Amino acid sequence: MDHIYEDIRKGERGAWISIAAYLILSAGKLVGGYFFASSALLADGFNNLTDIVASAAVLIGLRISQKPPDSDHPYGHFRAETVASLIASFIMGMVGIQVLVEAAKSLFMGKEASPDLWSAGVAAVCAVCMLFVYLYNRKLAKEIKSQALMAAAKDNLSDALVSIGAAVGIVGAQFGLPWLDVVAAFAVGLLICKTAWDIFRDSTYRLTDGFDQEELRDLRGTIAKTPGVEGINDVKARVHGNHVLVDVVIVVDPTLSLIEGHAISDKIEERMKRIHNIMNVHVHVEPREKSL
């Protein structure tokens, strides 16, 4: 169990990197947007400001999930990071809607001031920086199997793409199409909303104990191949933070002793840990019905 908490602490490092990156890049985008009259760059900058809040929520969730089990939470507090991902999706969704509203206002108010080309350079540099943050967090999230950090990584990627879109819109505006910058702001808002929806859907799926059926079949196959297991009456799994809980009902030879049945349970737990890195397996043993 200690290595699970160690993985969560690694996830905190990724959250801190995201926060630091957003602080620096949002400041650069907002200053550049105001000075170079770019609504797309301003929208991207405000998005990064709220991303700081979202990353902070992820960080808090990771901190809470490290609390040991207690009388009220016998399975621990690991789901706190899933709740943090859900909160992050709400924050991102509200920002996306706000960006769309502001872009619509700019369009109907006839804002057609062409943004300075320098703002495209700011957006491009920020996109490259955020892409590196995304690659780092994605790799770390896969390594420690952290849903919260993966949500933060998806946010990083959307920000990189948004900055690229902003740069494209700004460059296009230099060719006599100033409204293209407002269109880019619309694209920013839509992409933010799309990312928020993806994170929301995944978080609620996990919180309602949804589990991938293909992965469940793999777990079932591993259990079925364990020596002494003659059948499986039921197998269930659910995600609890960054690890999986498995409940299985196996069928064994009715002539086996209690000690032998327990040994089979131990074998299943050992195989699940070694093959699938699953630490929590509850095994219920039932005797095979005798033929009449």
pLDDT per position as a tens digit, 136-193? 988 888 887 777 788 888 878 878 877 887 787 777 777 777 677 677 778 878 888 8
Per CATH, the number for 213-287 is 3.30.70.1350
Query: The tokens 């985008």 sit on which residue?
Result: 29
What is the CATH number assigned to the segment(s) 2-207? 1.20.1510.10
Q: What is the pLDDT of residues 196-246, one digit of tens each?
A: 898 899 889 888 888 888 989 999 999 999 999 999 999 999 888 777 889
pLDDT of residue 292: 44
CA 156-63-93 angle, to 5 degrees, is 40
CA distances from 143 to 20, 140, 213, 272 (A): 22, 5, 22, 18
CA count, 13 A, side-chain hemisphere, 230 = 13
Residue 130 has pLDDT above 70, yes or no: yes
pLDDT at 61: 84
Check: CB of residue 58 under 8 Å from CB of residue 137: no
Going by pLDDT thresholds of 50, 70 and 90, the confidence category of residue 115 is low
Predicted confidence at residue 111, as pLDDT, reads: 53
Distance CA 234, CA 218 (A): 14
Cβ neighbours for 243, distance < 8 A, ≥ 6 positions apart: 4, 78, 145, 278, 279, 280
Whether 247 has a pLDDT exceeding 90, the answer reads: yes
In three-state secondary structure terms, 75 is: coil
Q: What letter does residue 290 receive in the DSSP assignment? A: P
Task: Give the start-to-end residue ranges of the domains of the chain.
Answer: 2-207, 213-287
Q: How far is 27 from 45, CA to CA, in rounded Å? A: 7
The pLDDT of residue 264 is 93
Residue 1 has pLDDT above 60, yes or no: no
State residue 9's pLDDT score. Answer: 75
Over range 110-130, report the average pLDDT. 75
Q: Which long-range contacts (CB under 8 A, 24 or more apart) does 50-54 make?
A: 50/91, 50/92, 50/94, 50/95, 51/18, 51/22, 51/26, 51/92, 51/155, 51/159, 52/19, 52/22, 52/23, 52/26, 53/91, 54/87, 54/88, 54/91, 54/92, 54/152, 54/155
Q: Where are the alpha helices (DSSP H) in the chain?
A: 2-35, 39-65, 80-108, 117-144, 147-173, 179-207, 213-224, 258-276
Strongest mean pLDDT among 88-102, 178-192, 230-244, 251-265: 251-265
Q: Kindly report the CA angle at 211 between 157 and 270, in degrees rounded to 5?
A: 105
Residue 17 has pLDDT above 50, yes or no: yes
Identify the pLDDT of residue 220. Answer: 93
DSSP 256: S
Burial zone of 12 (CB within 10 Å; 0-12 exposed, 13-18 middle, 19+ buried): middle
| Rounded-to-integer distance, Cα 94 and Cα 271, Å | 45
| Per-residue pLDDT band at 59 (split at 50, 70, 90) | confident
pTM: 0.73
